[in-house]
Structure 1
Amino acid sequence: MIATLNKSKTALSINKQDFKAALTKIGAAIDKQIAALKKNKQSYDASEMAREVIVEANIFETIIEGVNEAENTNLKLVDITNLESAQEWIDEFLEKYSEK
């Protein structure tokens, strides 16, 4: 489970291990795309590709929507208790691609 709902169903905590595993899967897909571009000798910006994927995925909004639907709650982004930490995990992920 990528997030844990508290007992009163008023707050959500992103699970670090599962969240980072999801980012790893996203990274693998980006790496495949980069490999294909390299093979075809096409130009690319790894950093921009990674940022676009993260933005398009709307990761936190998707998590909130999934929990709301599954648990019949009405949580919002501000109800993620460790949002700042989770954003740092995304920043670490994006940093890897800024070095490529």
Structure 2
Amino acid sequence: MIATLNKSKTALTINRQEFKLALAKIDAGIEKQISAFKKAKQSYSAAEMANEVISEANIFEAIIEGFNEAEGTNLKLADITNMEVAQGWIDEFLEKYSEV
């Protein structure tokens, strides 16, 4: 599971390993797009593509919505206990593409 709901159902903690696996799947999709652009000899910005995918995915909002629906909770983004750390994982992910 990508996050763990605490016993009182008032907070979530993003699980590092599962979150990184989700980012790896996003990475594979971006790499596939880049490969297609290269084959077609089209220009692209890897950093722009990665930023766009991450922003469109709304990862944290999707996690919250999933738990709210599945668990009948009313959690908000502020209820993610390790949001700053998880945002750091996203920043690391995006750095990879800013260096391409």
Amino acid at match of 2:4: T
Which residue is 2:70 aligned to?
70
Tell me by how many angstroms 1:91 deviates.
0.2
1:14-65 Cα shifts (integer Å, max 9, x gaps) = 0000000000000000000000000110000000000000000000000000
Give the paired residue count. 100
Amino acid at match of 1:88: G
Normalised to the residue count of structure 1, the TM-score between the two structures is 0.99
Structure 1 segments of 4+ aligned residues over 3 angstroms from their partners: none
Q: Secondary structure at the match of 1:13?
A: strand
CA distance in 2, matches of 1:27, 1:3: 20
Identity percentage over the alignment? 77
Which residue is 1:45 aligned to?
45
CA distance in 2, matches of 1:5, 1:39: 44
RMSD, aligned CA:
0.3
Amino acid at match of 1:90: I
CA distance in 1, matches of 2:72, 2:97: 37
CA distance in 2, matches of 1:25, 1:76: 25
Normalised to the residue count of structure 2, the TM-score between the two structures is 0.99
CA distance in 2, matches of 1:51, 1:68: 26
1:5 pairs with 2:18: no
CA distance in 1, matches of 2:98, 2:24: 16
